[in-house]
Amino acid sequence: MLNKYARAFFTRVLTPFAAFLLRRGVSPDAVTLIGTAGVVAGALVFFPRGEFFWGTITITLFVFSDLVDGNMARQAGVSSRWGAFLDSTLDRVADAAIFGGLALWYAGSGDDNVLCAVAIFCLASGQVVSYTKARGEAIGLPVAVNGLVERAERLVISLVAAGLSGLQTFGAPSWLGVLLPVALWVVAAGSLVTLVQRVVTVRREAAEADAAAPAEGGAV
């Protein structure tokens, strides 16, 4: 849901910036690569050390590249299959770095094996949720379902909670530290529901397509 509405809003907001980069000769692929590098650096440098506020700020600054690169490609008229492939692939890398950074914190100084496992589950389930849609589309199915917790929701829930938890460094109330564990459990549960939604949708669409195939063949 966030992906549907928020993406359209930020696309309009970032259009002038995308146009500025094009005038400076920056390519959409370069923005994709730089944005992913920034997210990975922010997640793996700050999160494992428990510096959630600065990690969230860094990640947020770079995560908008996911909107800017596509905007640039459309403005320049250079949208391509390669660009879409690169963008989707590096999204998975960025997501893995975010939840991997959180898992490293709980495996180390955070000292919580359960939350480490939950963070790893969030990482893995996010990858599988994306794979189910890509694989379904690859075999010719529309995969027409809006999941409960898709990528935008996973990032917003996790990063907002991490950023607020990080405010404890500046003297904020200690109860804010509860937000990140709660967010990870919510993302884990939501991702599982979304995975089930997509698998059920692909099963239904595949059955409908298989049932329609003999009828179409007979008509021909």
Cα–Cα distance between 84 and 73 in angstroms, integer? 10
Q: State the Cα–Cα distance between residues 210 and 23, nearest whole angstrom.
A: 49
**C-alpha to C-alpha distance for 103 and 180, rounded to whole angstroms:** 12
Q: Is 186 annotated as a binding residue?
A: no
Q: Is 91 a catalytic residue?
A: yes
- The gap from C-alpha 44 to its chain's centroid, in whole angstroms, comes to 16
165 is in an annotated binding site: no
* 191 annotated ligand-binding residue: no
Catalytic residue among 91, 111, 112, 210: 91
Is residue 29 annotated as involved in ligand binding?
A: yes
User: Is residue 74 a known part of a binding site?
Assistant: yes
Report the C-alpha gap between 32 and 177 in whole angstroms: 32
Does residue 112 have a known ligand-binding role? no
66 annotated to bind ligand: yes
Confirm whether residue 30 is marked as ligand binding: yes
Ramachandran assignment for 112, one of left (phi > 0), alpha (psi -120 to 50 degrees), beta (any other): beta
CA dihedral (197, 2, 5, 31) positive or negative: negative
100, 69 contact by CB (below 8 A): no
- Locate 90 and state its tokens: 């590096």
**Cβ neighbours of residue 173 closer than 8 Å, sequence gap 6 or more:** none
The token duo for 91 is 């999204």
Q: Flag whether 95 is marked binding.
A: no
Binding annotation for a CDP-1,2-diacyl-sn-glycerol: 29-32, 70, 74, 80
Binding annotation: 29-32, 66, 69-70, 74, 80, 87, 91
Binding annotation for Mg(2+): 66, 69, 87, 91
**Active site residue ranges:** 91
